[in-house]
Structure 1
Amino acid sequence: MLERLLALCLLALALPAAAAIEIKDDLGQATTLAAPPQRIVSLLPSLTETVCELGACGRLVGVDRYSNYPASVNALPKVGGIDDTNVELIASLRPDVVLVAVSSRVTDRLRALGLKVIALEPRSYRDVQRVLGVIGQVLAVPDAQRVWRHIEAGVSAAAGSVPPAARGLRVYYEVASGLYAAGTASFMGETLARLGAGNIIPAELGPFPKINPEFVVKANPGVIMVGSRGAEGLAERPGWSRIDAVRRGRICVFKPDEGDILSRPGPRMAEAAQIMARCLREKAGS
């Protein structure tokens, strides 16, 4: 028995140790994980959805208040939002790693507590593909890019559903109250381009610029896309009754659950493309 135990010990010593996981995040910070994390806190909905899409929803132990998909994450502790993140609650969850947005205000505090933090913030199609690869590496998922292939196929299918009459329609997409728009450089703008639509917001204004109302009037979009909250009183804005989209009723108002899908650069981008494509199809003939 003693010889067998000794042989097993020698065999264990001879086996190579599991390779550490080396990650460089979007802030340029390097993080080393001894093994794939089993307890994860996510502070960005798109990252939460990516973890779940890669089959690791069961490893999540806490999420931000806006993470609501898939439904199972609603049962997890909510650790606040970008302005009121509960650092003490996060620490009490004993995470192996915390996934945060680049814009998170608690990254340094979390690191000061000795927590492993990875900052990732997808803002474009290329970013989404890259972030999928990084999270796949963190989770030790061998083919994370299968999710990207599914997204690409879905977006292409959505583009194929847009009739010729809808292609070239110039769109104003209002992403938030205060006239914040989706610019050409945003992932939403990239989706519009894939669908063959135009965008009244030029690339030089950035991904999500705040727009003067008169700018929209002068640009005279043929279609307006907006969330249900932003749609209230839209037609009564000064001068907006002259906009072609308003005059012809070409305004797509997205429900809150649709707004979540549209605003998250992650696994559901193909669904977002389908929602935009449906809008273009419906408004092309009006």
Structure 2
Amino acid sequence: MTLGVGWRDWHRKRPNARAWRACWLAVCWLALAPLLRAQVVVTDDQGVSVRLAQPPQRIVSLLPSLAETVCELGQCHRLVGVDRYTNWPAVLRDVPRVGGGLDPHIERIVALRPDVVLLATSSRAGERLRALGIPVVALEPKTHADVQRVLLRIGALLQVSDPLRVWQSIDAAVTAAARSLPDHARGVRVYVEVSPGPYAAGEASFIGETLARLGVRNVVPASMGPFPKLNPEWVVRADPDVIVVGARSAVDLLQRPGWGAMRALRGGHFCVLTPADSDVLLRPGPRMGEAAAILARCLASKAPRDPGGRS
């Protein structure tokens, strides 16, 4: 009798099927959660969704601004290969070189056993690397908004915390550079040459965006494209108040037709950037705030006190 009552009591109190199922699902979730969290999915600038089993620990970069972004996120140690032009931060100078974005050494890249390769959308290496089974993420920042987007995307790829804060710091540095500009430099007309040719930074470029945020005017309109090749005589007619060039361009400035008569050159209203400063200015990446400061210092020291009279 007692045994019968005990059996009925246990049968009445035992967990039902639904409770067992819930318990089983909870156990499965606890077991699988770390694996699910490790999954990384990023869509690159070519619209390709790249799926990795876990955040990449071995990265090859074929674009300086992308390598700089990885480092700005505190992950320099993950870079096992970089392109020949990457030279900042200094710790990357000892990282193996794998050619350039347009002429990469595929064999060297494969030998480095990367978990992922970061490259520009214009790089020729993407298809070949994918065919070899190496994940590729193509990203190419061309505007301020692109720099923010790429930084956040690489942050998601690397699973780092709060990449937005890094962007906010960059953006704040650009704002600080703009606020530092003295009144006499505001509104001046500027010509920025990015390489001999001459090739200039137009209003549509990320450098043009920086100039706009500094409160000065770019003589190269957006309609000409981000980095147009110009006729030297066009620049003479544009008659900028301030000229900004790199060391390579400065060599023959006065030999260009009509340039010797330009008031900006005759009045000393021009800046010649060092190679290091040129690198900062020409790379749309995490040093964009530093680039704005370089331009602001140039304009503060070289802008004419009276733009109309170029004094």
Question: Are the aligned partners of 2:103 and 2:124 in contact in 1 as well (CA < 8 Å)?
Answer: no
Distance, in Å, in 2 between the alignment partners of 1:140 and 1:108 is 25
TM norm structure 2: 0.87
Distance, in Å, in 2 between the alignment partners of 1:82 and 1:173 is 25
Deviation at 1:11, TM superposition (A): 7.6
Equivalent position of 2:201 in the other structure: 182
Distance, in Å, in 2 between the alignment partners of 1:261 and 1:156 is 17
Could you tell me which amino acid in structure 2 is paired with residue 47 of structure 1?
Answer: L
Equivalent position of 2:85 in the other structure: 66
- CA deviation string 1:170-215 (max 9, x = no partner): 1110001111100101111111111111111100111111111111
What residue ranges of structure 1 are gaps of 5+ in the alignment? Answer: 1-9
Equivalent position of 2:44 in the other structure: 25
2:101 is aligned with 1:82: yes
Equivalent position of 2:213 in the other structure: 194
Deviant stretches of 4+, over 4 Å: 10-13
**Could you say which structure has the larger radius of gyration?**
2
Distance, in Å, in 2 between the alignment partners of 1:85 and 1:224 is 35
Q: 1:160 aligns with which of 140, 162, 179?
A: 179
Equivalent position of 2:128 in the other structure: 109
Q: 1:272 aligns with which of 291, 308, 311?
A: 291
Distance, in Å, in 2 between the alignment partners of 1:171 and 1:89 is 43
Question: Are the aligned partners of 2:141 and 2:150 in contact in 1 as well (CA < 8 Å)?
Answer: yes
Question: Are the aligned partners of 1:225 and 1:251 in contact in 2 as well (CA < 8 Å)?
Answer: yes
- CA deviation string 1:11-68 (max 9, x = no partner): 8963422332111111111110111000000000000000001011001100001111
Deviation at 1:145, TM superposition (A): 1.1
Could you tell me which amino acid in structure 2 is paired with residue 33 of structure 1?
Answer: L
2:111 is aligned with 1:118: no
Deviation at 1:236, TM superposition (A): 2.1
Equivalent position of 2:147 in the other structure: 128
Query: Does the C-alpha gap of structure 1 residues 157 and 110 become closer, same or farther in structure 2, counting only changes over 3 Å?
Result: same
Distance, in Å, in 1 between the alignment partners of 2:205 and 2:126 is 24
Could you tell me which amino acid in structure 2 is paired with residue 200 of structure 1?
Answer: V
Distance, in Å, in 1 between the alignment partners of 2:268 and 2:31 is 72
SS of 1:114's equivalent in the other structure is coil
Equivalent position of 1:219 in the other structure: 238
- CA deviation string 1:71-93 (max 9, x = no partner): 11111110011332101100110
Equivalent position of 1:256 in the other structure: 275
2:178 is aligned with 1:151: no
Could you tell me which amino acid in structure 1 is paired with residue 212 of structure 2?
Answer: A
Q: What percent of counterpart residues are identical?
A: 60
Distance, in Å, in 1 between the alignment partners of 2:175 and 2:208 is 15
TM norm structure 1: 0.94
Equivalent position of 1:5 in the other structure: none
Deviation at 1:158, TM superposition (A): 0.5
Q: 1:50 aligns with which of 51, 69, 86?
A: 69
Question: Are the aligned partners of 1:18 and 1:35 in contact in 2 as well (CA < 8 Å)?
Answer: no
Question: Are the aligned partners of 2:101 and 2:119 in contact in 1 as well (CA < 8 Å)?
Answer: no
SS of 2:295's equivalent in the other structure is helix
Greater percentage in helix: 2
Question: Are the aligned partners of 1:155 and 1:273 in contact in 2 as well (CA < 8 Å)?
Answer: yes
Equivalent position of 1:34 in the other structure: 53
Could you tell me which amino acid in structure 2 is paired with residue 252 of structure 1?
Answer: C
Distance, in Å, in 2 between the alignment partners of 1:94 and 1:12 is 32
Could you tell me which amino acid in structure 2 is paired with residue 14 of structure 1?
Answer: A
